[in-house]
Amino acid sequence: MNEKSSWVIDELLNSNYKYDSSIIPAKTSMYGMPQAPKSPYMISNSNLDKDNDNGKLIEFPLLVTKFLGKTIPAAGGFYLRTLPLKIIKNAIKSYERKEIPGSFYIHSWELTPELIPKIKLPTKNHFITFHKIEKTFSKMEKLLNEFEFTRFDSYISKIHN
Pairing of strands 57-59, 19-20: parallel
Residue 28's pLDDT is 85
Strand, helix or coil for residue 44: strand
Could you report the per-residue pLDDT of 71-87, keeping only the tens digit for each? 999 989 999 999 999 99
In single-letter form, the type of residue at position 126 comes to H
Strand, helix or coil for residue 59: strand
Residue 127's pLDDT band, with cuts at 50, 70 and 90, is: very high
CA dihedral 91, 95, 100, 103 (to 10 degrees): 20
Strands (E), 7-92: 19-20, 41-43, 57-59, 64-67, 70-73
Average pLDDT for the chain: 92
The Cα–Cα gap between 70 and 47 comes to 24
